[in-house]
A and B are shown apart, each in its own frame.
Chain A
């Protein structure tokens, strides 16, 4: 758990810190962004939601004391018991507490999404910067490889790959989603780097004798990262949605893991028989989580892109 959160903090902190350092003195884009965001109610709502979700993912014991996987947590005589006022979430088809299952399932989706997004941001920034900055042959190679990966629809590619794996856990699923998910990040970063490359300060830095690596580190990354941050936020939501879809299809998490997708898969048929809470609660958790990340990404985009104001 601790190295996961460390990895997340590292990827989230690094570009942000570089950006702050690079554009501090004048009335910066980022100061503007902070002002814009602090006035937006949508930002506060989605930001608080995202914080709660992350807290739930990394520290589920704060919200529900007993894990549904612990011994004796799921007595079968409680299976599918409908919600009551004392127990507004009811019990799952296996007799576990629905609230506890949902809380302990949060991490399975959210930590996976954080891992995948960290992976695709690293791949996307490295390949996108290389393609955009060096152009020519490097660009051709990267762009053609991106095209080829783009030719394989995301869900279909993931299904083939995961179906052959006999064991599917957080590592294999995030590996597969990273392999098929990095292309859009590369394209966005490439476009952004090409736009930054033409700015005057890059010429100035080069005229002063700066090396490629220095310019990329000091100027290009800081000024091209904004669209990547937006896309990464939205990608957190869409990866959660994709993982849940794959799990429902039977190529994602497997029992006895507790995950939202598996709860939906359990509830799908039973809901038609009248146990609606088995389907509606897990669906609500997925939708609210995805929505929170998408709204946060939308607000960030509006704040970062002055044209859309």
Chain B
């Protein structure tokens, strides 16, 4: 176990450096080809040259290698790495440090992602179990059809429709009715309400988790069906163990291992999806901030946020891999 963790940590270093370098390489090459974002900001009415030079210096875009197409800007990459290590992800076009604003907005996104993960794992595993234990019966067909449908709904379609029908129509009905308690109406809100930091993120959380719910249900179903056919389950049955114990202890625990790995990959999907969901539900988290930065073409925010989120994603995957090894003793590097 200890050796596995050490190896996984050592492997993590080249991966994170590689991903950061990829991000750097792609962004510098694009800037080299299509031109400087500072100039693009002003369009036709370019300000005097000194102003542009000063702005470029502020945003860290004054490096001469940005004008040499094809130059990978290695030096600039190491400068950036040094800044990242100190928590400096640049300033946005309004001179605010990206990291400060990120930390300020992170709690909302983290709460929404937590709701999504809890929802998708609990409901997804239950649905997957129902389907896997009753293969080819009604429950199985129902789960298969409904998960296929869920996968076909892009987050923004699901979000817009949920906002229209649940947030607005159903939620308004609840909030205007006499019998419904206050918290129930807040669960189907059309936007974020700071007085209810968790409840008003309920609907966006469900929307965000819907896609992965389908994936988890299918994953649980497949691995449950595969494990139910395995030798150790037959042995357990032959020993005379109760069905509850064979399924609950023997099969389910083994079937959930792929689900744990999926949650690691899912963090990346949730972070991307939060941009869409927060924009639709107007929740002032990292996603909405990024969405607004896209609208203003504020490149430094976009690059900074994506860099931070990629690091979050890689760290989440590292943790999941370590958890994976502690759940499954077969997983060892030799």
B314's nearest neighbour on chain A, judged by CB, is A151
Given known pairs A164-B30, A272-B168, the reply for A264 and B306 (CB within 8 Å) is no
Contact B294 A250 (CB under 8 A): yes
* B34 A166 Cβ-Cβ under 8 A: yes
**Of the residues A164, A165, A251, A287, contact of B153 by C-beta under 8 Å:** A287
Partner of B19, one of A148, A165, A166, A272: A148
Say whether, besides A249-B291, A294-B152, A156 and B34 are in contact (CB < 8 Å). Answer: no
Residues on B with beta carbons closer than 8 Å to the beta carbon of A268? 160, 280
A186 CB to closest chain B CB (Å) equals 15
Interface check B14, CB cutoff 8 A: yes
Contact B152 A287 (CB under 8 A): yes
Cβ B15 vs Cβ A151 within 8 A: yes
A36 within 8 A of B: no
In the complex with contacts A152-B22, A237-B152, A283-B157, A248-B299 CB distance below 8 A: no
Least CB distance from B307 to A in Å reads 9
Residues of chain B with a CB closer than 8 A to A276's CB:
164
Q: Is A300 an interface residue (CB 8 A)?
A: no
Find chain B residues with CB under 8 A from A164 CB: 27, 30-31, 34, 37, 299
Neighbouring A residues of B280 by C-beta, 8 Å: 268
> Which residues of A are found within 8 Å of B149, using beta-carbon distances?
291
Closest to A160 in B: B306
Residues facing A in B257-312 (CB within 8 A) are 268-269, 271-273, 275-276, 279-280, 290-291, 294-295, 297, 299, 302-303, 306, 309-310
B160 pairs with A295, CB closer than 8 A: no
In the complex, A7 has a CB within 8 A of chain B: no
- With a CB–CB cut-off of 8 A, which chain B residues contact A248? 156, 276
Interface string of A262-295 (1 = CB under 8 A from B): 0010011001100010011001001100110011
Interface of A is mostly: helix
Contact pattern, B 53-81, Cβ under 8 Å of A = 1, otherwise 0 = 00000000000000000000000000000
* Residues of chain A at interface, number, CB under 8 A: 45
Mostly helix, strand, loop or mixed at chain B's interface? helix
Q: Least Cβ distance of B224 to chain A in Å?
A: 13
Option from B23, B148, B152 in Cβ contact (under 8 Å) with A152: B23
Indicate whether A154 reaches chain B with its CB closer than 8 angstroms.
yes
Q: Is the CB of A159 within 8 A of B309?
A: no
Interface string of B21-39 (1 = CB under 8 A from A): 1110011001100110100
Question: Whole-angstrom distance between the alpha carbons of A89 and B290 in the complex?
Answer: 34
**Which residues of the partner chain A approach B18 to less than 8 Å between Cβ atoms?**
144-145, 147-148, 151
Question: Looking at the complex, which one of A271, A280, A286 makes contact with B154 (CB distance below 8 Å)?
Answer: A286
Q: Does A35 contact B (CB under 8 A)?
A: no
| Cα–Cα distance between A267 and B307 once the two chains are bound (Å) | 32
Query: Complex Cα distance A166/B297, Å?
Result: 10
Is the Cβ of B156 less than 8 Å from the Cβ of A244? yes
Once bound together, how far apart are the Cα atoms of A227 and B30, in whole Å? Answer: 34
- With a cutoff of 8 Å between Cβ atoms, the chain B residues found around residue A163 in the complex are 294, 297, 299, 302
Interchain CB contact under 8 A, A264 and B15: no
B163 at the interface (CB under 8 A from A): yes
Q: Assess whether B148 is in contact with A291, with CB atoms less than 8 Å apart.
A: yes
Residue of B18, B155, B279 ringed by the most chain A CB atoms within 10 A: B18
Contact present for A283 and B273 (CB under 8 Å): no
Q: A287 contacts B268, CB within 8 Å?
A: no
Q: Given A153-B268, A268-B160, is A148 in contact with B22 using a C-beta cutoff of 8 Å? A: yes
With an 8 A cutoff between CB atoms, is A47 at the interface? no
Tell me the minimal C-beta distance from A242 to chain B in angstroms. Answer: 8
Structural contact, A153 and B40, CB atoms closer than 8 A:
no
B59 to chain A, nearest CB (A): 13
Complex contacts, B268 vs chain A, CB 8 Å: 153-154, 156
Interface residue? A155 (CB, 8 A): yes
CB contact between B313 and one of A151, A241, A267, A298 (< 8 Å): that residue: A151
Could you tell me the distance in whole angstroms from the C-beta of A296 to the nearest C-beta in chain B?
11
Interface residues of A in 222-246 (CB under 8 A from B): 237, 241-242, 244-245
Give a binary string over B202-241; 1 marks a CB under 8 Å from any A CB, 0 the rest: 0000000000000000000000000000000000000000
What chain A residues lie within 8 Å of B157 (beta carbons)? 244, 264, 283, 286-287
Which residues of A have CB within 8 Å of B269? 153-155
List B contacts of A279 (CB < 8 A).
Answer: 160-161, 164
Question: Quick check: is B122 within 8 A (CB to CB) of the other chain?
Answer: no
Contact B15 A154 (CB under 8 A): no
Tell me if B16 counts as interface (CB < 8 A to partner A).
yes
Residues of B within 8 A of A (CB): 14-16, 18-19, 21-23, 26-27, 30-31, 34-35, 37, 40, 148-149, 151-157, 160-161, 163-164, 168, 190, 268-269, 271-273, 275-276, 279-280, 290-291, 294-295, 297, 299, 302-303, 306, 309-310, 313-314
6 closest cross-chain pairs (CB), A and B: A155-B272, A153-B268, A151-B19, A148-B18, A291-B152, A241-B154
26 sampled A-B residue pairs with Cβ under 8 A: A144-B18, A145-B18, A148-B15, A151-B15, A151-B313, A151-B314, A152-B22, A154-B269, A155-B272, A155-B273, A156-B306, A156-B309, A159-B294, A160-B303, A163-B294, A164-B37, A241-B152, A241-B154, A249-B276, A249-B294, A279-B160, A283-B161, A287-B154, A287-B157, A291-B148, A294-B148
